[in-house]
Structure 1
Amino acid sequence: MSNGNGSGDGNGVVSSYAGNFVVPNFFSGSDLELQFKRGVEEANKFLPKFSPLVIDLESNVVVKAEKEERDYSPNLKGKKNHDREDDGFEDERSNKQSAVSVDETELSEMFDKLLVCNGRDEKPSCILHYEAPENEVKCSKQNGLANGSNGKKKSRAKKSQGNNNEAVDLRTLLILCAQSISSDDRRTANELLKQIRQHSSPFGDGSQRLAHCFANALEARLAGTGTQIYTALSAEKTSAADMLKAYQAYISACPFKKVAIIFANHSLMHATSSADVIHIVDLGILYGFQWPALIYRLSKRPGGPPKLRITGIELPQGGFRPAERVQETGRRLAKYCERHNVPFEYIAIAKKWENIRIDELKINKGEFVAVNCLFRCKNLLDETVVVSSPRDAVLRLVRQANPNMFMHAIVNGSYNAPFFVTRFREALFHFTALFDMLDANMGREDQMRMKFEKEFYGREVMNVIACEGSERVERPETYKQWQVRNRKAGMKQLPLDPLLMKKLKCKVRGKYHEDFVVDEDGEWLLQGWKGRIVYASSAWVPA
């Protein structure tokens, strides 16, 4: 089992084929002009299309909307984007206000259908029950069926990949291109990009899509337009209903987010069995998709549900209403709690996390306090950018809150190095696993897959490769690095529940592809693909 820090054979190691490529050192002026125009055309594909209509939420009428030229003008250089959030497929960002496509009642029903219960199954899908242990024989049978069907998908993907990349190693070309850009050899870099474009495609197999995505970022770095393109990608907004559908498609193909939510919710349920008031401080609440399953379970508690308080924390949106989205999340959760008769109170905070004061959390004496942060700490700047590290400041705030439990899930990545080529290699290994995972579990024509690869993975890769300094906000660390940070902040780790781990492994084996990994190390729940650890979860208490 790899710990995710290295790059063993199963993790995307690149065999060196550098000797197979003869790269010309000189080009004509027309070739260079053609390369530049092609780069501009590719970059323009990422810019958002303006919709002339928005919906006035107050009056339910359609009104004209003017373009926000100051946000998207091609003449702007490196406009700062402070609306930074997670990588995850739950995450979407915007400097504009959203149009709601369904009413709150319909959305509440969607919560029940997609987040809480699986179709005919009336049991919550994001909570496991101690009182109903899994049948091991049943798990084994499901495992055989799931692995058999998915195994066919996997071999098809591999065969296709072999046919398309027979004559060229795209990952080696990408690394050579990154090295050329690093040494400011623009001619070689442009020629390598030309070769990569000939063999990559956003509609091909996993490695071709990966190469297309990384080539976009390399071109943006070469042209100096990385921050502009990343800001435009980040400015697009998706409604909660549409994001819920995208999220459901993702967790149907991949267990990563679902297992992390089950781990956090189950740990919380087990620890709060006798609490009268539960106060959850959610760092990065976004759309709040984690909580309907927990609310549903609390509503079924013998003796009646406890009072639930949630402090939803997000980064501020641009515009006149920086807290609008986090407030909308509160209203949706309030409707859902009302539907299931769970007493509810919500506090919305929209500001930079490192600037939040302890009194703003409004913690009351006698309540069970749980701090929750899933996959969002990677967007906090660290001590390599600013002297007073926002990461450590947020962990100090968590410790100051003196929580009964801190649920922490992280993206396990090593691509936070200040040196570009080192960072590029690590990002390439990390995203190779993710693109390969989607290739094995979703069809190539799947519209949702294309959306993920362009709008989520593409945006993250653009930030990692083409942005620097405070504008580079995709900065994951390994679970071992976070373990050191959390301990330094005065927290100690809770042991993993053996029964919960057994059930989660069984759930993943029974319903997902055989190459998904669920393991444990140092009291962390680890998740990965083909041996590469991609996500990790743990629970903490004050030391």
Structure 2
Amino acid sequence: MKAEVKGNMSVSLQSPTFFDTHQGPISGALNGCLGGLDGACLEKLLIHCASALETNDVTLAQQVMWVLNNVASSVGDPNQRLTSWFLRALISRASRVYPTTMNFDGSSTIPIRLMSVTELAGYVDLIPWHRFGFCASNSAILKAIQGFPRVHILDFSITHCMQWPTLIDALAKRPEGPPSLRITVPSSRPPVPPLLNISTEEVGLRLGNFAKYRDVPFEFHVFDNSPSTALSEIMCKESPGFHFESILSHLNNPSMLNLREDEALVINCQHWLRYLSDEQKGSPHGSSLRDTFINIVKGLNPQIIVVVDEDSDLSASSLTSRITTCFNYLWIPYDALETFLPKDSSQRIEYESDIGHKIENIISFEGFQRIERLESGFKLSQRWKNAGCLNIPFCEETVKEVRALLDEHASGWGMKKEEDMLVLTWKGHNSVFATAWVPNGLED
């Protein structure tokens, strides 16, 4: 089965034409992969292709792509399936950079999938990629707001408030009774999967109905983070439908968020901070948007800040470096899905396609069009420390809850404490981290 990219790229691996047209180290490396399709071999091919693109060797890049198309497969083993998405991304990049010389059609073939709420619930439950963060964060939030009669959560997440029914249910069981709960979310989010087929306002109505059923006083607010007219055209080109500059302007003006002194404020960041640019832009002091956001939310004096994201560093400027890190990191979900879903499972194929969106952005784009700018949990924790925040260790009760959650999933999933973090692991490899923070001086 060939990688499902546009254009007919079928060519025999044994074809003498390819290996005779380009001599040197690359030829030996590619010949060494014949008869072996392990991850190291496929990674080597991808790196050779990226290196050729970085050195403007278009002919060599095309040749390696032909070979990759024969060894990658969207329905093969995890390494082959992952490679097929990297191949798409490399073709997309090459076709845009060299539109007149590449023989491949690099237009995106990844469909935009809008999920129902039921499908989104299944997406979240498939592997603990998101549930791990929900569980760790909700447990830390419950501890931080204990005894407060009113709570306000500023929610920055890509999963459409799927975290909150579990928290609402826990609040309903509080011995002293549930607090009044307000949740505020921005009107737009990063244009990345999962995508939902209903509006944010409809999500709020459904949450409100559930809170009413559980007798938890509830409000849901959406603040408009559309850009100003002057910035709209530029920002839409950089990141369609998602504008962090506007979010920062709202956070800089607490009255726009209707913050109240009698409420315990919670800042929730779930798979979110990577979409703020880490480049030194957007502040008179030369800070990145990421650092600016951190400093602003710290200044709101929240009762707790919870941060969850993927534990890998994909911010390198070098394409070959990003491919190496990305291939070895995103192997994790592909391998995890292999343990319980058949190769032709539509659910598996759709989930992998959503990861393909991420790969395409990481590999195909540069500058502000590359919105996937993930950094490791260690580096992100250092940003919070530099901003004057203190880490809140997760209590043993939280650890027990997370372990109980992981028991519901495949045996390869585990958890460990590392530095200031709880880390979700797959076969010992770090995948997702969770941390909790408080502004310096509020830790008591």
Provide TM-score, normalisation by structure 1. Answer: 0.64
- 1:484 aligns to what? 382
In structure 2, give the amino acid aligned to 1:336.
F
- 2:348 aligns to what? 449
Provide the C-alpha distance between the structure 2 equivalents of 1:399 and 1:459, rounded to a whole number of angstroms: 32
In structure 2, give the amino acid aligned to 1:354.
L
Residue 294 (structure 1) shift: 1.1
Once the two structures are superposed, the pairs formed by residues 251-400 of structure 1 within 5 Å of their partners are 254-284=127-157, 286-315=159-188, 325-351=199-225, 352=244, 353-356=247-250, 357=252, 358-383=254-279, 387-400=286-299
- 2:408 aligns to what? 511
Provide the C-alpha distance between the structure 1 equivalents of 2:39 and 2:133, rounded to a whole number of angstroms: 40
Residue 285 (structure 1) shift: 6.0
Provide the C-alpha distance between the structure 2 equivalents of 1:229 and 1:265, rounded to a whole number of angstroms: 42
Residue 388 (structure 1) shift: 4.1
Residue 532 (structure 1) shift: 2.0
In structure 2, give the amino acid aligned to 1:376.
W
Provide the C-alpha distance between the structure 2 equivalents of 1:540 and 1:230, rounded to a whole number of angstroms: 42
Correspondence for 1:459 among 344, 347, 357? 357
Q: Secondary structure at the match of 2:115?
A: coil
In structure 1, give the amino acid aligned to 2:415.
V
Residue 165 (structure 1) shift: 2.3
Correspondence for 2:44 among 164, 172, 179? 172
Q: Could you say which structure has the greater relative contact order, defined with CA pairs below 8 angstroms and 6 or more residues apart?
A: 1
Residue 290 (structure 1) shift: 0.4
| Residues 430 and 384 of structure 1: CA distance in aligned 2, closer, same or farther (over 3 Å) | farther
Provide the C-alpha distance between the structure 2 equivalents of 1:262 and 1:440, rounded to a whole number of angstroms: 23
Correspondence for 2:119 among 239, 242, 250? 242
| Residues 317 and 491 of structure 1: CA distance in aligned 2, closer, same or farther (over 3 Å) | closer
Residue 360 (structure 1) shift: 2.1
**Which is worse superposed, 369-378 or 349-358?**
349-358
Residue 503 (structure 1) shift: 4.5
Kept in 1: contact 2:158–2:190 (CA 8 A): no
| Residues 343 and 163 of structure 1: CA distance in aligned 2, closer, same or farther (over 3 Å) | farther
Provide the C-alpha distance between the structure 2 equivalents of 1:290 and 1:487, rounded to a whole number of angstroms: 26
Provide the C-alpha distance between the structure 2 equivalents of 1:452 and 1:291, rounded to a whole number of angstroms: 22
| Residues 471 and 190 of structure 1: CA distance in aligned 2, closer, same or farther (over 3 Å) | same
| Residues 22 and 168 of structure 1: CA distance in aligned 2, closer, same or farther (over 3 Å) | farther
Unaligned runs of 5+ in 1: 1-20, 27-161, 319-323
Kept in 2: contact 1:285–1:313 (CA 8 A): no
Kept in 2: contact 1:313–1:350 (CA 8 A): yes
Q: Secondary structure at the match of 2:373?
A: coil
Identical-residue share of aligned pairs (%): 24
Provide the C-alpha distance between the structure 2 equivalents of 1:484 and 1:168, rounded to a whole number of angstroms: 32
Provide TM-score, normalisation by structure 2. Answer: 0.78
Provide the C-alpha distance between the structure 2 equivalents of 1:517 and 1:450, rounded to a whole number of angstroms: 24
Q: Secondary structure at the match of 1:434?
A: helix
Kept in 2: contact 1:410–1:537 (CA 8 A): yes
- 1:427 aligns to what? 326
Correspondence for 2:372 among 453, 468, 474? 474
**Which is worse superposed, 187-196 or 325-334?**
325-334
In structure 2, give the amino acid aligned to 1:261.
F
Provide the C-alpha distance between the structure 2 equivalents of 1:385 and 1:174, rounded to a whole number of angstroms: 32
Provide the C-alpha distance between the structure 2 equivalents of 1:440 and 1:260, rounded to a whole number of angstroms: 22
Quick check: 1:527 aligned with 2:424? yes
- 2:29 aligns to what? none
Q: Secondary structure at the match of 1:433?
A: helix
Kept in 2: contact 1:23–1:191 (CA 8 A): no
RMSD: 2.9
Residue 310 (structure 1) shift: 0.8
Unaligned runs of 5+ in 2: 1-16, 23-33, 99-104, 192-197, 226-243
Residue 531 (structure 1) shift: 2.5
Kept in 2: contact 1:378–1:476 (CA 8 A): yes
For these two proteins, the number of residue pairs brought into alignment is 377
Q: Secondary structure at the match of 2:215?
A: coil
Residue 483 (structure 1) shift: 1.1
| Residues 500 and 381 of structure 1: CA distance in aligned 2, closer, same or farther (over 3 Å) | same
Provide the C-alpha distance between the structure 1 equivalents of 2:39 and 2:65, rounded to a whole number of angstroms: 16
| Residues 200 and 384 of structure 1: CA distance in aligned 2, closer, same or farther (over 3 Å) | farther
Residue 385 (structure 1) shift: 6.2
Residue 515 (structure 1) shift: 2.6
Provide the C-alpha distance between the structure 1 equivalents of 2:163 and 2:268, rounded to a whole number of angstroms: 10
Residue 446 (structure 1) shift: 1.6
| Residues 480 and 187 of structure 1: CA distance in aligned 2, closer, same or farther (over 3 Å) | same
- 1:25 aligns to what? 21
- 1:33 aligns to what? none
Residue 415 (structure 1) shift: 1.4
Correspondence for 1:408 among 302, 307, 310? 307
Deviations 1:59-87 (A, max 9, x none): xxxxxxxxxxxxxxxxxxxxxxxxxxxxx
Residue 399 (structure 1) shift: 0.8
**Which is worse superposed, 391-400 or 280-289?**
280-289
**Which is worse superposed, 381-390 or 431-440?**
381-390
Provide the C-alpha distance between the structure 2 equivalents of 1:230 and 1:276, rounded to a whole number of angstroms: 53
Deviations 1:183-222 (A, max 9, x none): 1111111111111111111111101101111000010011
Q: Secondary structure at the match of 1:463?
A: helix
| Residues 231 and 344 of structure 1: CA distance in aligned 2, closer, same or farther (over 3 Å) | farther
**Which is worse superposed, 492-501 or 465-474?**
492-501
| Residues 163 and 205 of structure 1: CA distance in aligned 2, closer, same or farther (over 3 Å) | farther
Kept in 2: contact 1:25–1:188 (CA 8 A): no
Residue 167 (structure 1) shift: 12
In structure 2, give the amino acid aligned to 1:195.
V
| Residues 376 and 314 of structure 1: CA distance in aligned 2, closer, same or farther (over 3 Å) | farther
In structure 2, give the amino acid aligned to 1:298.
L
**Which is worse superposed, 380-389 or 287-296?**
380-389
Residue 262 (structure 1) shift: 0.9
Provide the C-alpha distance between the structure 2 equivalents of 1:232 and 1:390, rounded to a whole number of angstroms: 31
Provide the C-alpha distance between the structure 2 equivalents of 1:331 and 1:271, rounded to a whole number of angstroms: 26
Residue 520 (structure 1) shift: 0.7
- 1:78 aligns to what? none
In structure 1, give the amino acid aligned to 2:419.
G
Residue 361 (structure 1) shift: 2.1
